[in-house]
Structure 1
Amino acid sequence: MDIQQIADRYVELCRAGKHEQIQDELYADDAISIEAPGNQSGPLGNVEGLEAIREKGRKFMEDVVELHGSWCS
């Protein structure tokens, strides 16, 4: 896949709400999730590795009470 194909697939899956599938298809096993300065530690801070990113997402969603919408462009 070239960059445009990756971007198109990401947007397609994002718009369909298939965020886990995005990770399965498009993330490397050694991907890194980096937060803004001041938010880099703790369970939702910087993490390394696909499984750590998935766990970070699960922890984030545990705190979500209601999701009003999302979009991707």
Structure 2
Amino acid sequence: MTTQEVAEQLVNYCRQGQFAEAIQNLYGQNIISVEPDGAPVKETKGLDAVIAKGQQFNEMVEEIHDMQISDPIVADKFFSCTMKMDVTFKGAPRTSMHEVCVYKVEDGKIVREEFFFTPMQHG
């Protein structure tokens, strides 16, 4: 798959709330996932670890009220999109999250993802 095709498929999966399917079908075995400074885990390496990270996120969510994913912007072997999520986490007030997501594609698979947002303050 081309970077454009991977980007379009990822956005379609996300718009349908099929994050686990996106990871299973589009991510490489040696994926690196990077969160911003202040996030609970800065870097996750390997497909199994990224799958576990996604499951951990899902377990923290009480309800997703709304989610919007922009169309991807593709250049060379990279693409980006924005994600807005109106979500209630368990034991926390309803909040709005807005992030920029950047992906790198090699051999038809996502090999790196990096998220840019301001992490929630805890405590």
Aligned to 2:29: 29
TM-score, normalised to structure 1, is 0.82
Aligned to 1:58: 55
1:39-50 to structure 2, matched below 5 A, reads 39=39, 44-45=40-41, 46-50=43-47
Q: What does the per-residue CA deviation read over 1:10-46, in whole Å, with 9 as the maximum and x for residues that have no partner?
A: 111111211111111110011011111232xxxx412
Aligned to 2:12: 12
TM-score, normalised to structure 2, is 0.52
Name the % identity.
35
Contact 2:20/2:54 (8 A) holds in 1:
no
Partner amino acid for 2:64?
A: L
Where 1:67 maps in the other structure, the secondary structure is: strand
Where 1:36 maps in the other structure, the secondary structure is: coil
Q: Which has the higher helix share?
A: 1
- Larger Rg, first or second structure (1 or 2): 2
Unaligned stretches of 5+ residues in structure 2: 71-123
Shift of 1:58: 1.1
Runs of 4+ in structure 1 over 3 Å off: none
Q: For residues 60 and 13 of structure 2, what CA distance do their matches in structure 1 show?
A: 23
2:99 is the counterpart of 1:71: no
